[in-house]
Amino acid sequence: MTATILQYLFYMALLVGLAFPLGLYITKVMNGERIPGVSKVLTPCENLIYKVMRVKADEQMGWKKYLLSVVLFNLFGFLLLFLLCLCQGFLPFNPQHIEGNSWHLAFNTASSFMTNTNWQAYSGENALSYFTQFMGLTVQNFVSAATGIAVLFAFIRGLIKVKSQGLGSFWVDLTKIILYILLPICLVMTVLLVSQGVAQSFAPAETVDLLEPIAVDSEGNILEDAVIDGDKVLVEGAVVEGAVIVRKQIVPLGPAASQISMKQLGTNGGGFYGVNSSHPLENTTPFSNMLEMLALLVIPVALCFTFGRGVKDKRQGRAIFLAMFLMLAAFLAVIAVNEQAATPQLAQNGAVDLSNIQQAGGNMEGKESRFGIASSATWASWTTAASNGSVNSMHDSYTPIGGMITMLQMQLGEVIFGGVGCGLYGMLAFAILAVFIAGLMVGRTPEYLGKKIEPYEMKWAVLVCLATPIGILVGSGIAAAVPSVMESLNNAGAHGFSEMLYAYSSAGGNNGSAFAGFNANTPFLNVSIGLVMLFARFLPITGILAIAGSMIQKKKLATTAGTLSTSNGLFIFLLIFVVLLVGALSFFPALALGPLAEFLGMTA
């Protein structure tokens, strides 16, 4: 048990240790500082891009122009990916001759990757060509991540500039983020993943002989106790009529590593393969597992330190970081304890050994034995804290409380570090809400970073904070009333409700993970989930830029004895309380119908 606890502590310490210097690097890039060795190579490329795009490097956009640029750029990306999915059957790099997607699946996929959600209602190796994967999905992994970071920096400028109008140029921000931050880190990580054996090839899928042939019945079910004797299949000595002997296996290949590296770093999620990072060609070794797991959160954590430097007060960055980190640690602990303890039903009256003596113990259902509970629980916590959604174990097989925590982290608005950029500006909206509540309690006009928080900012901040709950609850509420949705569930009762609630929580939280077994590839689910993703992405972006546009025009107020500190322990506690309060008020009834009801049913 001590070794397991040390493993969790090692992961957390390594994450913070890598994020701190990365945060300093991002600050230098976005401030336009010269970086030895990097600027000499990339600055000419940056200037060439501006020249080709006819972009002015010193342009200052108002918040409406910045928002319009964001929307138009993402709309173009949506349409391009939508057409790629529809027409991939006629396009090159399609060795498996995969046909185009249906219109509703193409809509869902384009919405998903454009919004940085990467929800997948399909199995990647069976539904998309190599061309769609690397020209459509991988490109969106870069630009959707860069969009979130760009909006964050526009918001930071709104907080620190005084009596001004310009939030910077979206096109300049986008170029710097992709060229100086995402591409170099992605290149390094891709090389490391390839060194571990992660697939990176344009070769078609290969058919290989199985080391141990298996037998299946006429309905395709594996016969566990079958004995293969030549061309006969016997179970308990009797020949099974209609049984088929499977002697070969298809090994899917493709340009996976380059997409995997960016999907993790950009908190995009999704998977090149259907079972995601539990696939032996997508996540090959314990080292690749740790590398991909750290990539889930390293940029969101780094941006907390970047924020502190950006507003010229490192204490502010540390305060936001600690609020997020404390919630992450608490939720990880809940998942870890429940998965290690498992449930009485899993023990099967003593028939299954759940002890951790010379084995992982606990609830290993749905988890890879090569990763064990600690790496699986950490991944599950981190991927749902970030708006990532890639998995190395199946959350559908977690204990009721363990699965509930993964769901709750998404429902809180992906603000426990969250997605790159969007997680931090979402938490800053909660900070504004916390400041306003504190101001009401003491009878003072609320201030944040020396600027007054007035009704205009509060209205937008509330919308930003409630965008995720509204999207999730409205979407899942409508889905629960549609009879055809029942056919997509893998389970009945409370767990079946959890499958559906998790799907809309994943969409509304810009996450992309799923309870395995939920078949979302139907016209209604593809369209409704796609609309929830669009709503939950662009309403917060609009609100944050509107707040930035208002704050940038205000003057700085002098700090007095009555000014509320937004960097001490009291404010950190208040911020955590507000986040959990909004989440509890919004989702307790829904969680009570799903995972809590399932948990109480098991313990009754």
- 187: tokens are 């290149």
Cβ neighbourhood burial of 597 (10 Å; 0-12, 13-18, 19+): middle
Question: Do 373 and 367 touch, CB atoms closer than 8 A?
Answer: yes
pLDDT under 70: residue ranges of the chain? 1, 344-360, 516-517, 561-562, 603-604
pLDDT at 558: 76
CA atoms within 13 A on the CB side of 521: 13
How far is C-alpha 354 from the geometric centre of its chain's CA atoms?
31
How far apart are alpha carbons 519 and 217 in whole angstroms?
Answer: 24
Q: How far apart are the first and last CA of the chain?
A: 28
Percent of the chain with pLDDT over 90: 39
pLDDT at 194: 94
Beta strands in 252-304 (DSSP E): none
Q: What is the pTM of this model?
A: 0.91
How far apart are alpha carbons 21 and 139 in whole angstroms?
Answer: 26
HEC profile of 87-119? HHHHCCCCCCCCCCCCHHHHHHHHHHHHCCCCC
Alpha helices in 161-244 (DSSP H): 170-176, 183-195
Beta strands in 412-557 (DSSP E): 447-448, 451-452
pLDDT at 189: 94
pLDDT at 2: 76
Q: Which of 149, 148, 168, 169 is nearest to 158 (CA)?
A: 168
What residues contact 534, with CB distance under 8 A and at least 6 apart?
111, 115
Question: Do 80 and 72 touch, CB atoms closer than 8 A?
Answer: no
Provide the angle, in degrees to the nearest 10, between the axes of the packed helices 422-442 and 286-310.
Answer: 50
Question: Do 30 and 155 touch, CB atoms closer than 8 A?
Answer: no
pLDDT at 320: 94
- 199: tokens are 């697939």
- 227: tokens are 């004995």
pLDDT tens, residue by residue, 470-517: 999 999 889 888 888 887 777 777 878 888 888 888 888 888 777 766
Q: Which helix (H) or strand (E) holds 209?
A: strand 206-216
How far apart are alpha carbons 287 and 184 in whole angstroms?
Answer: 20
